[in-house]
Amino acid sequence: MCTEKVLRGMGYKLGVTIGEGSYSKVAIKIVDRKKAPHDFVHKFLPRELTLLREVRHDNIVHVHEFIEVCIGQLYIVMEAATTDLQKIQEVNSIPIGQAKTMFSQIVSAVNYLHQHNIVHRDMKCENVLLTWDNKVKITDFGFGRFAMGYPELSSTYCGSAAYAAPEVLLGVPYDPKKYDVWSLGVILYVMVTGCMPYDDSNVRKLPRAQRKASVYLDDVTVEEPCQLFIAYLLQFSPSSRPTIQQVSTFLFHS
C-alpha cells in the first residue's frame, strides 16, 4: 500500500502496463534491495544506475526517474517496449531487410557506448527491446561499466555463455569492446536464422565450436554477403575482429 500510494502521488499506477501518458507508455523495473543478492545490490546495481544516468541515445532505453519507496525498494521508471528479439525469434527469423534496419540501430547504440568508453558485456536478444514500431532499445546494464583500458576487465567473466566471446570463455585477458562485437555477431546470426550459431550445453567445449565457420541449415536462406558479414563479426581472434567503429562504417557505407 505504501508503494502504490507513493506512486499514485507521482502519477503512476501499478499494473501490467504502468503510467500510460499522452505521448508514451512507461515501464517500472522494481528492485527489492532486501531480497536481491548481495553482489547485485552492492556491485552490479550501482554500476547500472550510474550508466543509466549517463547514457542518452535513441536506441538505448531511456530512464525517466528513480524512485525510492518505503525501505529498500527502488523503482526505475523507463520507457516501455512491447517485446524483445528473443520473443521475435521464438516465432520465426526476421526478413533480411528488416534485420539490417534493426541491427543498424543496435550497432549505433553500441558505437555510442564505446565512444563514451562504456561496455555492455551482456548483449543478447533478450536485452534488445523493441517498441510497437520495431524501434530498437538496448537495455540491462547490470554487467556494464566504464572501460578504462584493455585488459582491465580481463578477470571478470560475465554475460551469457551462448553470446560470450571465446577469449572470455577461455578465461584469458580480453578487450571488453571486442567482446561486445562478438555478441553482436551472435545476435545477427539469430536474427536471420531463428536459431543459435553454437550449442552452449557444454561451455567447456564451446570455444572449440567457435573456431569453426558458422553453419547454416538447409531450410534457412541467408544471402552470402550477410554470411560473410557475420563471419567478419565472429572472428575467433580478437585482434582480427573489427571494432564497433569499423562495423558501423561497413554497415552505413554498404
122 is annotated as an active-site residue: yes
Residue of 140, 126, 132, 130 lying closest to 55 (CA atoms): 140
Burial degree of 92 (CB within 10 A; 0-12, 13-18, 19+): exposed
Active-site residue, selected from the candidate residues 84, 122, 175, 180:
122
Is the CB of residue 131 less than 8 Å from the CB of residue 81?
yes
> In what order do the strands lie in the sheet containing 73-79?
26-32, 73-79, 63-69
Q: Please name the residues in contact with 16: beta carbons below 8 A apart, sequence gap of 6 or more.
A: none
Give catalytic residues, as residue numbers: 122
